[in-house]
Structure 1
Amino acid sequence: MAALVRCATSAGALGRHRTRFARRGHRLRIRSQLLGTLCPLGHPRERVRAVVAGRVASALPLPSPSFPSPTRPRSAGSEGEFMPLHAPDFERLFVPGARHDLSFGMVATVRLQQDAWLWLPTGRVVAGEPAMLGAGEGSEHAFVQRVEPGRYPLVLVVAAYDMPEDRPTLAEIAAAKLVIRDEPVVSWEMALVDGQDLAELDDDEFFGYAVDSATGGFIDAANTALLRDDEFTDRMFSEIAGTDNAAATTLTDDEGRPCLVAFSSGSADGHYPTWVGRTADGEVACFLTDFFILTDDEGEDEDE
């Protein structure tokens, strides 16, 4: 599966680059971790502080995909018209208590967890790997879908795996949802930043963000300046490293307002889309980042 993603460049700016994301490879990484056949260092979340803090401290250039921008010609309305990645039926897949037989041989049960809030002073939502969001102005990273300022709850969709008796329990974050309205979602659309155009996407491609330290997050565009403050980022690294991989980390400002929510990006680094759910009235109901744990097999029968 191809993916068009937003990635940090070595200059610290955010650009749009084409890269490749293999769903099957993602599942194999998960299976290796669950069955204990690989991953001697444990869950990627355990390496967050070392990986992220080490990169920042040494001022190493951030990874940037080397693939070219899309050049494939398209003709609107033709038989060969391309379709971007479609949103799975999240409302059905993420029902609490639902059990999923995953293709790599494991069974996961869904549970919803709400123990964090996010303050949006401008209503301009930014999603991404927290350590990378301090580069540039926050408005460069904000989604074009805006909401009213306020405090909103974060709901984690957790996949709890059935484990053998001789293995420790394991639960991972399958998706993270920032709830704007507690109303049913009737439609989904891809969250976009200014300058992104769905017409540029080929089959099963998406706009999303890159993760290189096993962590994603939500923040308001106005609060990304905090990520350029050494004291704040030191506290962020410490708190993320000390948080369970199936829980959220909340960072507050000097007045105690929740300015950043961070969470484990499922079971692996990669590239992940954020979706906007809308109500029957067309209002934004939520922003949802999917980590391809429970949705990884959606549509695979048609692809093979």
Structure 2
Amino acid sequence: MRTLLLLGWIGLAGCESRNGEYPISKEKLDTVRHNVYPVSVRPLIFETAFFEGTTLTQHSTRLRFCPIHIGDLQVTTGKVIADCPVTVKDGVPFLADFPVGAFPVQLAIATIKTDERVAFSRILFSPAPVARWEMALLRGQKPLPLYDTSYYGYGVDGGIGLFIDSAANAVMQADDKLDSAMTDSMFIYSMKVHTRDTWDYGVYRFKGQNVAVFSTGWGDGFYGSYIGYDAEGKICRLLTDFGVVDWQGEK
């Protein structure tokens, strides 16, 4: 059984990067600073990880969270794909219809002793509090209870995940010349600009479209995505969990 205990809030001046063997970006991280509000909808950490200064204890180890904004994703069709660069060519959008527009992509960075990991990524469709969470489904998938031992998700091979609109993915895949250049342009150079010791990210723009890419937790794995709905039943979040937090212990 996995356990989670919320300890409370601490004040932070912002996220701090650490020096490592690779060049570290000199840029100042765009720390997300929300007004903290009571969270009662479980999993609590899906929301509280994006409040600057949240801490929790997991298996006697303390985690501290710092949320950052990495850029805005263009959603033109309302059909969003969460996937890995290796398999996005055949990526399938979620069944849900998401709002259309440009929306912030945010990462919740967990500091664990001397390590830092991307615990969650999300698209913030609105600042409204989440009234309920549901597992994000692809066409043909049956709904599962949130705390089920089984879950849907996507596999990662290369330690990178992404969010992209289905129309942007079609543009990317339809252009052979663009497609052949994507690996270096999107998944190497654009992310090197935003490199930290154990994680990095990038927002790559092409032909009037864009894609948000980011490190995934401890690296390769299988990661589930979840949709947050507000009190009026409107979608306000799309979140991917990278397995850093054992949130099942909340229930």
Aligned to 1:52: none
Tell me the TM-score normalized by structure 1.
Answer: 0.61
Moved over 6 A (4+): none
Q: Which runs of 5+ in 2 are unaligned?
A: 4-20, 23-40
Aligned to 1:251: 204
- Name the SS of the counterpart of 1:131 in structure 2: coil
Q: CA deviation at 1:97?
A: 0.6
- Name the SS of the counterpart of 1:223 in structure 2: helix
Q: CA deviation at 1:204?
A: 1.1
Task: Kindly indicate whether residue 84 of structure 2 is the aligned counterpart of residue 129 of structure 1.
Answer: yes
**Matches of 2:131 and 2:145, distance apart in 1:** 25
Q: CA deviation at 1:213?
A: 1.0
- Name the SS of the counterpart of 2:189 in structure 1: helix
Aligned to 2:65: 110
Q: CA deviation at 1:239?
A: 2.5
- Name the SS of the counterpart of 2:86 in structure 1: helix
Q: CA deviation at 1:210?
A: 0.7
Aligned to 1:263: 214
**Matches of 2:56 and 2:142, distance apart in 1:** 33
CA contact (8 A) 1:187 1:279 kept: yes
Q: 1:161 and 1:224, CA in 2 relative to 1: closer, same or farther beyond 3 A?
A: same
Aligned to 2:15: none
Letter in 1 for 2:204: L
Letter in 2 for 1:265: T
Q: CA deviation at 1:199?
A: 5.8
- Name the SS of the counterpart of 2:224 in structure 1: strand
**Matches of 2:118 and 2:138, distance apart in 1:** 24
**Matches of 1:240 and 1:171, distance apart in 2:** 20
CA contact (8 A) 1:87 1:275 kept: no
Aligned to 2:183: 233
CA contact (8 A) 2:144 2:151 kept: no
Task: Kindly indicate whether residue 121 of structure 2 is the aligned counterpart of residue 176 of structure 1.
Answer: yes
Q: CA deviation at 1:200?
A: 10
**Matches of 2:108 and 2:71, distance apart in 1:** 13
**Matches of 2:131 and 2:66, distance apart in 1:** 21
Point out the more displaced range, 223-232 or 276-285: 223-232
Aligned to 1:97: 53
**Matches of 1:202 and 1:94, distance apart in 2:** 21
- For these two proteins, the number of residue pairs brought into alignment is 207
Match of 2:161 among 192, 216, 219: 216
Aligned to 1:5: none
CA contact (8 A) 2:95 2:137 kept: yes
CA contact (8 A) 1:127 1:219 kept: yes
Instruction: Give 1 or 2: higher helix fraction.
Output: 1
Q: 1:280 and 1:200, CA in 2 relative to 1: closer, same or farther beyond 3 A?
A: closer
Name which one, 1 or 2, has greater alpha-carbon Rg: 1
**Matches of 1:298 and 1:263, distance apart in 2:** 24
Q: 1:87 and 1:134, CA in 2 relative to 1: closer, same or farther beyond 3 A?
A: farther
Instruction: Give 1 or 2: higher strand fraction.
Output: 2
Letter in 1 for 2:132: S
Fraction of identical pairs, as percent: 30
State the superposition RMSD in angstroms.
2.9
Letter in 2 for 1:278: Y
CA contact (8 A) 1:240 1:262 kept: no
Correspondence 1:1-304 to 2 at 5 A: 88-89=43-44, 90-103=46-59, 105-135=60-90, 141-163=92-114, 170-198=115-143, 203-225=148-170, 226-227=172-173, 229-239=179-189, 242=192, 243-244=194-195, 245-255=198-208, 257=209, 259-294=210-245, 296=246, 298-299=248-249
Letter in 2 for 1:102: Q
Q: 1:232 and 1:97, CA in 2 relative to 1: closer, same or farther beyond 3 A?
A: same
Q: CA deviation at 1:250?
A: 0.7
Q: Which runs of 5+ in 1 are unaligned?
A: 2-22, 25-41, 44-85, 164-169
Letter in 1 for 2:67: L
